[in-house]
Structure 1
Amino acid sequence: MTFHQPSGINQGLNLLVDANWTPAQAWAVIELIDDLRERLHSHYQLALVQWLAEDREVHPDGLDHDLGDNNF
């Protein structure tokens, strides 16, 4: 089964999640991820706005220069 990640990443290391978590455990992880997203957004807000603006620029060569295509 192939999962389509919001990031677009389709290869790399698998992340296994215990299928037997209680709903409370799953919710705790969701809250942790939400907190992490908020912290990152708060710290990098201006840099993210600038990066996104640059990412959406129309380039003179007419090619798609998506900054999100970096291979990590």
Structure 2
Amino acid sequence: MTRVHLPSGIIKGLNFLIPENWSADQALAVVELLDDLRERICMHYQLELFELQHQQRADLRNAHPADADDPF
């Protein structure tokens, strides 16, 4: 089984299976639903999300301080 690299970084949990026989219209409907959901969440939590992402990036830099200064 191939490991899927998700944007969240999650590597464990339940697999979410997408049927192989979806039509392009069905796939587009799901993508549009997810886009709408993301937009609504961002509208409501925009500042909090920005601050949380900023803190997570700072935590990563602090966890590996030598890597943060080294561009290679």
TM-score of the aligned structures, taking structure 1 as reference length = 0.73
CA-based RMSD of the aligned residues comes to 2.1
More helix by share: 2
Match for residue 12 of structure 1? Answer: 13
Separation of aligned partners in 1, 2:9 and 2:46: 22
Match for residue 55 of structure 2? Answer: 54
Higher-RCO chain (CA-CA 8 Å, sequence separation at least 6):
1
Separation of aligned partners in 1, 2:57 and 2:26: 38
| Misfit runs of 4+, over 2 Å | 52-58
SS in 2 for 1:56: helix
Alpha carbons of structure 1 residues 45 and 28: separation in structure 2 relative to 1, 3 Å: same
TM-score of the aligned structures, taking structure 2 as reference length = 0.73
> Number of matched residues?
62
Shift of 1:16: 0.8
- Segments of structure 2 that go 5 or more residues without pairing to the other structure are 64-72
Shift of 1:56: 3.4
